[in-house]
Structures are given as C-alpha cells and as structure tokens.
A = this chain, B = another copy of it.
C-alpha cells in the first residue's frame, strides 16, 4: 500500500471506487463539488457510471433506482442538498435499499454559508424524512478515516440493506492528508447474489421494490422489520474511540469528526497544565455509543461531561439522554462556519472545572443555556 496525499473530497471519491461503488450520481454544491469533479474523469477509467443530475431531488431518486439493481451506488452533497433528498431517503429506507450518501456539512440554516459546520446531526441521526426509519451514520475525523469509513459504509449498507450516511464537515472535504487505499479494489456487486435485486423476472417470480403497504398490518410489519434491523445495528455496529481516557480524568469530552481532533489538541495542551481530560469520539453517530458513554461518564473521577460540537447543540441531546442525569452535561459549540479553536475549548473547560463556591457544581451548565 502506497501513501497518497489527497484532499478529503477526492479521497472519498477514490474510496468509493475501491469499494466497488462505481455508480455515482450527484449535483454540484460547495464544499463537496470536488468529489464530482474528481469522479467525472476517474470513473470512466474504471468503466463506472457518472451522472450529474438536474437537482438533489432527482439525484436522491436516481440512486434509489440504481440501488434497486443490486449494484453499489453513491452520492455526495452538502446540507441544503441533503434536505432535498429527505423524501427519497425515507423511501429508500422503507424499501430496504443500500445506498451511501455523503454530507459535507456547511453552515445553516437556509443558504447559510459554505464553511464547515456540524449542524445536521439531528437530520442525519433522527431522520429528516417522514416515518419510523434510521440511517447508519458515520463521522470520520481524518482523511484516512474518511476513506476507511466510506468503504465500511458500503459494506454496512449491503449488510443491512439500509441507507448509510457519512457526515463530515467542510474541513474533512478540503483537508489534504496522507491516505492509503486497499491493495485490491473490490469488484462491483454481482446483482445475482441478492434475492431482492431487480434483475429481470426471467424464470422467477417478479420482485418489487416498494414502501407502500395499504394494509396497515403489513405496513406495521415493515416498520417492525426495520426496527429489528436497527436493533441489530445498535447491538453490533456501534463504534467509538477513546483518547486519553484514564482514572485521572476530571472531565469527559464528547465530540465527533474534525471537532474531536481539535479536542485532542485541547486534551494534550491541558495535560501540560496538569488538567486531565478524556475524550470519547463517537465514530457511529447512529448507532450512538450510548452504553459506552454511560460507562465512561459514570466513572467516579468524572466530574462533568462536556459535549463539543460545531452547532448550537444537537448531539448533546443524545449525550443527556444516555448520561441520564448521572453527571452534569455541558455544551460548548460554535456554528455558522466558525471552527472552535483549541483555546476556546480550553477556556471553557477551565471555567467548568474552576471550583466556584456559589455555583452548584452538579448542575448542568447546559440548563442555563438555550435548550428545549
């Protein structure tokens, strides 16, 4: 394996090819247009399919149709474009179709800005579309991890027949880091390997890819089938990384994506000051590593749990839910394209750990913040 220095956006494109996902549909949007600009010449080299759709609504449905073939399909977009795909995402989840969608998040709401943000956590993890469904959500923190998780994403999508979303911020997309790709690229899926792929009803009963069940019992059955799948996913696919977690930690940071890397620097620098802080970085945002968080957060030495996001506070709701009041949960975030600097985070932590006589130390500072 040779190392390459690559932009995140391009590396992700190459990773899709490595995963045998040579069918790509997209509509341009900053800050991820480089994925398309890379794949538009790279895919023809591997006899792949590149289609620039007329809109994200169309693209969401192109991958829908393509996925029904049993082949691996990929799309990439950024926040407003992902919003436009919500109907099709709900449909694909309902029809148990494997697709991989990359969201290089930008500041919102609305047209917002084009700088890095993490404010689409809710949309990705709770389901921005209608109905009871879930996406598997992966959040890489480096270009190499973006490559690895892209490859994993396709495996998980096929394994569970469920859409998988990779969410990164603009940094992941624009950053160049050294990456390694697998020696051997995976071949395209063979549709005949699947008992659900639409390959033509030649000598077999016709197959239907659908989400409509006019009989409510059948519709509920589909939701139960989905829920059982999600249960399996929760049990088997939760991934996270711990950094500097020890029994000396006074505080536990929860943070994901590139934001978590900034927190690593925070932790290193605070360690120099003699302040011991650990980090838990969820790699899968759904399934959320909730049990693991509970275990870490409830350790005796941990005084507080600090969630750091590039948003006004989204993942923190899940953190609160899993910490179940055992420790105060605090939040620090910047948004709109502002990336919190290590210094800001350090200040926040110092403030939180300052022994203050009047402030009840066991109360979440988050309560005082905007919430609901």
Contacts and interface: CB of A to CB of B under 8 A. Distances in A.
A213 B112 contact: yes
B113 A214 contact: yes
Interface string A68-103: 000000000001101110110011111100000000
A326 B324 CA distance: 8
Interface string A335-364: 111100000000000000000000000000
Contact of A94 (B109, B114, B214, B288): B109
B113 A234 contact: no
Interface string A195-233: 000000000000000111111111111111011101101
A211 B110 contact: yes
A311 interface: yes
A155 interface: no
B93 A110 contact: yes
Contacts of A128: 83, 86, 123, 127-130
A212 B112 contact: yes
B83 A87 contact: yes
B372 A113 contact: no
A80 B84 contact: no
B314 A132 contact: yes
B112 A123 contact: no
A312 to B, nearest CB: 4
A211 B109 contact: yes
Contacts of A145: none
Given A94-B108, A110-B94, A227 B336 contact: no
Contacts of A228: 370
A287 interface: yes
Contact of A107 (B86, B105, B131, B337): B131
A66 interface: no
A279 interface: no
A160 B316 CA distance: 25
Interface residues of A, number: 82
Nearest to A290: B372
Give the one of A105, A112, A338 with max B CB within 10 A: A112
Contacts of A370: 227-228, 230-231, 234
B110 A95 contact: yes
6 closest A-B pairs by beta carbon, nearest first, are A108-B131, A110-B211, A94-B110, A109-B131, A219-B336, A324-B325
Given A79-B131, A113-B215, A228-B370, 19 more contacts: A79-B130, A84-B84, A93-B109, A94-B111, A95-B110, A108-B133, A109-B130, A109-B133, A110-B131, A110-B211, A113-B216, A113-B219, A114-B214, A120-B130, A120-B131, A122-B122, A126-B126, A216-B337, A321-B321
29 contacts: A57-B57, A83-B86, A83-B128, A83-B130, A86-B129, A94-B111, A95-B110, A108-B129, A108-B132, A109-B127, A109-B129, A109-B226, A113-B212, A114-B214, A115-B216, A119-B131, A122-B126, A123-B129, A128-B129, A128-B130, A132-B313, A213-B336, A216-B338, A217-B338, A227-B370, A231-B372, A320-B324, A321-B321, A325-B325
